[in-house]
Structure 1
Amino acid sequence: MDRKVYGLITNELLTVLPQEWKQVIFYGELTEGGFSFDYYVNIEGDLFTQCFKLEEVDRGDILNTFRKIYCIILPLWKSLDKGKQWSNFTFILNRSGVFKAEFDYTNLQENAYAYYQKWRERYLK
């Protein structure tokens, strides 16, 4: 993905972040038939709060943001050859604007939940 796409994703995430956020870690899974997104926000210390547990953010707004992000990345994902389509990606954004994106190609059809648990252990420690 190019910088423009990361900018679009950032703009969408900014609409569903609490004012005091320091860092956001976004997780996205994409398959031919759908998607699963989640994000975690660091507000203070080393603790991250899952998006749906943020009191000041509306659940409907989060779901709408997820749909918008899906519409941003789906055409790019579909343009990749089948063997080069990633199964999930992680987007880490700091309040200063510094970001990092990582892509993974693990087949998640067999045990997506176990993979997600390992992802959480890695990124949210």
Structure 2
Amino acid sequence: MDHAKLDRMYQTIAQTVIEMIPEEWMKVYLYGEVMEGVQRTFFYYFPKASKEPVYFLDIIELFEVNEEEFEQLREQLNDHLKSLWKEFKQSGHEPWSTFMIVFDHTGKFNAEYGYKDLSDPATDFFERRLIWEYKYLGLIPKDDFARRILEEYLKDTEGKSD
């Protein structure tokens, strides 16, 4: 695969996220899932003035942003991830199912791909998101139902390595 093209695709994803963030920020954690017919993407960012991450959909409630423009950027972000996924497929690489990119305000970034079968009925997107939020951001759900899911995951993974 052409590394220059891959770098440009990462840059486009990051630039779209940056356009969605209406304040100074330090670091972004983006997670996406892409499969035939299914796509989900979300991100958190750490504002410059806070140690608490902000969930991307909370931006609309926290700031006076144009919702229509925000939704257009959200669609563009989804399109960029789908293009990245298609690029892998078209270049003969195994298409990934999960993608994560972490980047900071200095331009440093790290991209990771996952290849788990997401059609497994034992886990759903809600559970995967809770686990991801805990593993990468240290977030513990406030709601009892979600907290029980996370506790069950932690109990099941005790002693196991990823």
* TM-score (normalised: structure 2): 0.67
Contact 1:30/1:87 (8 A) holds in 2: yes
Contact 1:108/1:115 (8 A) holds in 2: no
* TM-score (normalised: structure 1): 0.85
Task: Pick the aligned partner of 1:4 from 3, 8, 26.
Answer: 8
Show the counterpart of 1:91: 101
Identity %: 22
1:76 to partner: Cα distance? 3.7
More helix as a share of residues: 2
Task: Pick the aligned partner of 1:118 from 131, 134, 139.
Answer: 131
CA–CA distance in 2 between the matches of 1:108 and 1:58?
34
Higher Rg: 2
* Dislocated runs of 4+, deviation >6 Å: none
Provide the secondary structure at the position in 1 that maps to 2:45. strand
Q: CA RMSD in A?
A: 2.2
Point out where structure 1 has 5 or more consecutive residues left out of the alignment: none
Say how many residue pairs are matched: 125
CA–CA distance in 2 between the matches of 1:33 and 1:19?
33
Higher RCO, Cα 8 Å, sep 6+: 1
Point out where structure 2 has 5 or more consecutive residues left out of the alignment: 139-162
